[in-house]
Structure 1
């Protein structure tokens, strides 16, 4: 009996299993990011400053709109890490505060909803991020925010903010000009 095909199949299965277990834990690189995007439906980006991150109004060039920061993130925030579900709703954000303090999470437009964990994985995300987290509702999505010294952790599962509007992907928003 020829055992060569069985050895080849076993070796291929071993290589695929090793890759599936090792790739998500490698430092970000094109291969691991491609694997995470296709298998886990997650993508991540790092921005040195808030100015480096795409603005919400930017055209969706290469899917960058999903990485736009919420409006309540201070403009002088640094070392920003964002991990998103590829549909753009679930999101983890970590950043370091600059001279501008975080003005405190707010939900002035209504009662915040219960936000589940986003179900995303990132090596830079602490396991105890939920401790002391407060709701933040000044953006399209409701976030939970935890502040640890100068480090801020925020996440959303895509729950709309009370009274917030979710941007439509299909049609651009056109504002009527003021009449005289």
Structure 2
């Protein structure tokens, strides 16, 4: 007689576990966007070109200044509760001039806090620090694809008049 509540509870746990693994990997739509925002506290945006990305408003979806103006197929995933971001884009004719940290010694980032299905494995050994904006990024280039992440670590010299 007490078996029915246990079966219902087990089924509920199974549904929740499946949702936790499946939802972050589903294509963006209003349902998954809402769940990602409220449960996982992450938001994603996709832009066809750099010109489509916002230049005002939420910092999370503005492109860093070092991203070439002719970049395409831009994806951004951002933590709703902090500074963590993932960015992927495809280079156009303008090459990426290489990650730079000229304002001082790069800070040691805490580590990548986000994941996305479009983020490749094994970029850690290829990543170089990029410090030309207020936040320091770790950047890896694979062919025409550029992958960059930040955990919100300030760039060296960011407090001394660098644009935010």
- The answer to whether structure 1 residue 160 and structure 2 residue 154 are counterparts is yes
* TM-score using structure 1 length: 0.81
Q: 1:20 to 1:133 in 2, by over 3 A?
A: closer
Distance 1:165 1:37 in 2: 30
CA deviations over 1:125-172 (Å, ceiling 9, x no partner): 011112222111100101111111111111111100001149xxxxxx
**Where do 5+ consecutive residues of structure 1 fail to align?**
167-172, 174-180
1:121 to 112, 115, 124: 115
1:121 is paired with a residue whose SS is coil
Distance 1:5 1:160 in 2: 51
**Where do 5+ consecutive residues of structure 2 fail to align?**
none
2:72 to 78, 82, 87: 78
C-alpha displacement of 1:113? 1.0
Q: How many residues align?
A: 161
CA deviations over 1:18-45 (Å, ceiling 9, x no partner): 2223212212222222222222221111
What RMSD in Å do the two structures reach over aligned CA positions? 2.0
Tell whether the 8 Å contact from 1:137 to 1:162 is kept in structure 2 after alignment.
yes
C-alpha displacement of 1:53? 0.6
* TM-score using structure 2 length: 0.88
